Amino acid sequence: MLKSKSMRLKASACVILVALLIAAAAMRWHAQDRVNRVRRQLSAEPYGLPYRVETSEALDVPQVLTDENIGPSAISVKDNPAEVVNKAAWALIADNMHSCTSERIDHRTVAETVFHAAGPDRVHLLNRTTPNLQPSNEVIVIGTDQYHRDADGPWQKDAQDGTHYMIVMHQIPLGFFLGSQNKDLRLIRRDVIADSPTFKYEVLVSPTPDGIITRDTILDIWIGIKDGLPRKYLMRPAEKIFNPQLIERDTYTCSYVDVPNIEPPI
């Protein structure tokens, strides 16, 4: 009698367990179905929705290029892309007359730094941040004299001799450095940046051991065809992000014309 009752209890417990497993599986199926519906909606209507879409950006397809008759040129379609970028990066460091702008967009924050070099010992740096991108601080270095001001405040002459900022101006920007070290960098096509004919190069950069790059990143680089000088790089996550509030992007652009004069501010 007791044995029969025990067997009935065990059978009931098994039935309950099976029912719970079926219910849990149904809940997981419905949850996954909701996720799939959301993903389909995001693919159809990506803008304005507070979601990050976990798909991949496509790398550009390289075009078949030949050296056209465009007059004197510093680089060729036959040149090794990494070597082209390496030479261009060092040429930027050696150049004494240029303006470069670094812009980093990280979610809702925009940080911009403008670098002017107007001679071997004359530099002007402006840092700007959102929301209005007004200068938050500026530094001018002329020879061994350093000046700064905060926001719209008055200029002041500093006790420092400007060595730190001269070192900053003589460092290779991150994107150009990464491109120069990557053997997988490919020539993609001809392009025009600020009226200058360029070659566009591209590579997928993997996370680096030092943590500077934390996820797969697409790196695009533009180098001037006629002078071999860097014109631009663009770094963006390889995953596609539709919501503008979640965009992350790192852009660096350089110009070698109309560089402003740099004079003592006081």
CATH number of the domain that residue 162 is part of? 2.50.20.20
Q: How far apart are CA 76 and CA 91, in angstroms?
A: 17
* pLDDT of the residue at 136: 82
Residue 75 lies in a domain: no
Three-state secondary-structure class, residue 143: coil
Token digits of residue 182: 């990557």
* pLDDT of the residue at 246: 63
The answer to whether residue 102 scores a pLDDT higher than 80 is: yes
Does 3 share its domain with 92? Answer: no
Does 35 share its domain with 93? Answer: no
Per-residue confidence at 22, pLDDT binned at 50, 70, 90?
very low
Does 226 share its domain with 116? Answer: yes
Residue 262 lies in a domain: no
- Taking only the tens place, the pLDDT of each residue in 82-96 is 999 999 999 999 999
Three-state secondary-structure class, residue 72: coil
Does 168 share its domain with 246? Answer: yes
Residue 14 lies in a domain: yes
* pLDDT of the residue at 71: 64
> Are 15 and 7 within 8 A, CB to CB?
no
Residue 166 lies in a domain: yes
105 exposure class (CB count in 10 Å sphere: 0-12, 13-18, 19+)? middle
* pLDDT of the residue at 10: 47
Domain count of the chain? 2
- Taking only the tens place, the pLDDT of each residue in 248-257 is 889 999 999 9
Q: How many CA atoms lie within 13 A of 205 on its CB side?
A: 28
- Taking only the tens place, the pLDDT of each residue in 72-81 is 789 999 999 9
Residue 67 lies in a domain: no
Domain extent at residue 17: 1-45
The answer to whether residue 18 scores a pLDDT higher than 50 is: no
The answer to whether residue 31 scores a pLDDT higher than 50 is: no
pTM score of the predicted model: 0.74
The string of DSSP codes covering 22-80 is HHHHHHHHHHHHHHHHHHHHHHHS-TT-S-----BPPPPPPP-------SS-S--TTS-
* pLDDT of the residue at 115: 94
Least confident of 51-60, 198-207, 236-245: 51-60
Token digits of residue 191: 């392009």
The answer to whether residue 216 scores a pLDDT higher than 80 is: yes
Does 116 share its domain with 179? Answer: yes
Per-residue confidence at 27, pLDDT binned at 50, 70, 90?
very low
